[in-house]
Amino acid sequence: MNPSRSPRHFWLWFDPRSKHLGALGFIMNRVAGIGLTFYLFLHLLALGQLALGPKAYDHFIALVHHPLFLAGEYLVVIGGMLHGLNGLRVAFTSLGKGAAYQKPLFYGLMSLALGVILYFGIRMLGGG
C-alpha cells in the first residue's frame, strides 16, 4: 500500500502543528467549506419537509426554536464568516494582489470574522 494514500496520511493533512499560516488558513477554509456543504444538504432536507403540509410546517417551526438548532445556526454563522473572509484573502493572494500582505490580511480578516461571530453570538444566543 502506498503510504501517501493511507488513512493516517489523510489525517496528517488536517494536523495544524508546524504548518505555516497559509496552510492553516487553507485547512480552516477546507473544514469550514465541508461543514457548510453538509449544512446545505440538511437545510434542503428540512425545507423539503415543509411541502408535506401544515403539520410539517408546525413541526418545523417548533424545531427551529430548539436550542440545539440555534447552536447549529450559530455554527453556520461561524463557518460562513471564516470561509468567506478567508476566501477573500485567498482570492487576493491568488490574483497576486496581496501575496506580500498575506499575514496582515489573514489577521485582519480573521479579526473582523471574530468580531462578527461575537456579535452574532450575543444576538443569537444571548437574547440581545
Residue 115 lies in a domain: yes
Residue 53 lies in a domain: yes
pLDDT at 63: 82
Residue 81 lies in a domain: yes
Residue 7 lies in a domain: no
pLDDT at 128: 57
pLDDT at 22: 80
* pLDDT above 90 (res 7): no
Residue 102 lies in a domain: yes
Distance CA(124)–CA(19), nearest Å, equals 34
Distance CA(73)–CA(120), nearest Å, equals 10
pLDDT digits (tens, 9 = 90+) for 28-57: 898 999 999 999 998 888 888 778 888 888
- Contacts for 76-80: CB closer than 8 Å, 24+ residues apart: 76/36, 76/39, 77/116, 77/117, 77/120, 77/124, 78/32, 78/117, 79/32, 79/35, 79/36, 79/39, 80/32, 80/36
Predicted TM-score (pTM) of the model is 0.77
What CATH number should be reported for the domain holding residue 99? Answer: 1.20.1300
pLDDT at 119: 95
pLDDT digits (tens, 9 = 90+) for 74-119: 999 999 999 999 999 888 888 888 788 888 999 999 999 999 999 9
